[in-house]
Amino acid sequence: MPSFKNKFACLANLPPVSVLLMEALQQIDGKQDLTTLVDKISLDPSITVRILRIVNSPFYGMSREIGSLREAIVLLGFNRIRDILVSICFSKIMPASHKDFDYRHLWHHSMAVAECTRQLAGLSGNSLDFAFTAGLLHDIGRLLIVVLFPDEFSRLVKVSANFGIETEQELLGFDHATIGGKAAQYWNLPQEIQEAIELHETPPEPGSVKSLGLLVYIANLLIVKIEQADESDWDKYAPICTALAILNISIEQAVHCANSGLQFANQILSLS
C-alpha cells in the first residue's frame, strides 16, 4: 500500500476548479459586481439554465416566472446566487462511477448540510460568506476516495456499507475529512473552508468558540440523524446539545434548519 505521503500526491490528478467558481467564491460582501458576474455566468448557457430552473423551483415560491439571470440575482441576492453557482460547478467537477457508490445520495446529503449550515450561521451570528460552500464540500473526501482509490473503496464497502472514519483510517491510513481538507488546499479554497472540511467529524472541545467548522459539524449531525429516521430525544443527544449550546441555538431552531436543508436538497436534485 502506498505511503500516507504518496497517497496525497495523487491530488495533483484532480481536475482544476473552474475560473468561474473561484471568482464566485472571491465575490464577497463589499466586492460584488453584478454586471460582471452576470456576463461571466452567461458565457455558460447550461449553468444559466440550471440557475433559472432552481430560482423558479417551488422552494423559492416566486409569484411569477423569473426569466433573466440579472433579475434572479436582484431578487435572491448576490450571495444566494453564488451559493447556487457553487453547487452547480462542484457537482460537475467529479461525477463518480462506481457500482458500490451512491453519487446521488452524496450530493443530496451535501446539499442538505450546505443549506442547514447556511441557516445555522444566520441564527448564530456567524458570517454567511462561506457557510453554504463549506457545508456543500464537507464530504468531498468521500468522493475523492471513490475517484482516486476505487479498489480501496470496494474493500471499505465489504467491511461495512455504512463504514465510518475509523474504518477509513484503518484501511487507508487517512479518512475522508483529511483528504477532503487536502483537496480544498490543493484547489486554493479559502482557509476557513479547508479547516471546516477537515474538522467536520471532530467534536468541539469544552470552551470552543463559534466557528465555521462547528457549524458544519452540527449541520452534518442533524442531517444524518434525520436521514436515519432517528428524530427522538433530540435534547438527550449529547453531541448535538453540546454544539448547539456553544452556538446558542435551540433544538427547535436547529431541527427547523435541518428540515429546511432537506427540503432544499429535494428541490435541487429533482431538477437535475
Q: What's the CATH number where 238 sits?
A: 1.10.3210.10
Dihedral sign (CA 256, 117, 149, 163): negative
Instruction: Examine the fold and report which residue of 33, 68, 93 is the final residue of a domain before the chain moves on.
Output: 93
Q: Which amino acid does the sequence have at 57?
A: S
Task: Identify the pLDDT of residue 268.
Answer: 84
Assess whether 41 and 20 both reside in one domain. yes
Which of these, 91, 84, 103, lies nearest to 37 by C-alpha position? 84
**Cα–Cα dist 40/168, whole Å:** 40
| CB contact at 8 A, 214 and 246 | yes
Q: What are phi and psi of 234, to 5 degrees?
A: -55, -45
Same domain? 52 vs 145: no
DSSP helix/strand/coil, 11: helix
Q: What is the mean pLDDT of each run of 10 residues along the chain (272 residues)?
A: 62 76 64 75 86 89 90 86 84 74 90 96 87 94 89 89 89 93 89 94 84 95 86 75 91 94 89 70
Task: Return the pLDDT at 28.
Answer: 54
Residue with cell 462506481: 98
Q: What is the pLDDT of residue 77?
A: 85
CB 249 within 8 A of CB 123: yes
Residue-level pLDDT at 90? 80
| Alpha carbon distance 174, 69 (integer Å) | 42
Residue 3 lies in a domain: no
Same domain (yes/no): 113, 80: no
Task: Determine contact, residues 172/152, Cβ cutoff 8 Å.
Answer: yes
Residues 54 and 126 in one domain: no
Please report whether residue 31 resides in a domain. Answer: yes
Same domain, 212 and 116: yes
**Nearest in space to 85 (alpha carbons), one of 20, 14, 180:** 20
Number of Cβ within 10 Å of residue 1's Cβ equals 10
pTM: 0.88
pLDDT at residue 27 in the model = 61
Same domain, 45 and 179: no
The residue among 158, 173, 39, 42 whose CA lies nearest residue 100 is 158
Residue 196: its pLDDT value, please?
Answer: 95
